[in-house]
Structure 1
Amino acid sequence: MNKLICEAIPFKHFKERIRIVKDIERKYKNATIEIHKNFVIIQYKN
Structure 2
Amino acid sequence: MQQPLVAISTDVRQFDNYTWHAAPQQYLEAAIAGAGVFPLLV
Q: TM-score range by the shorter chain?
A: 0.3 to 0.5
TM-score by length of 1: 0.36
When you count helix as a share of all residues, which structure comes out higher? 1
TM-score by length of 2: 0.37
Q: Which has the larger radius of gyration?
A: 2
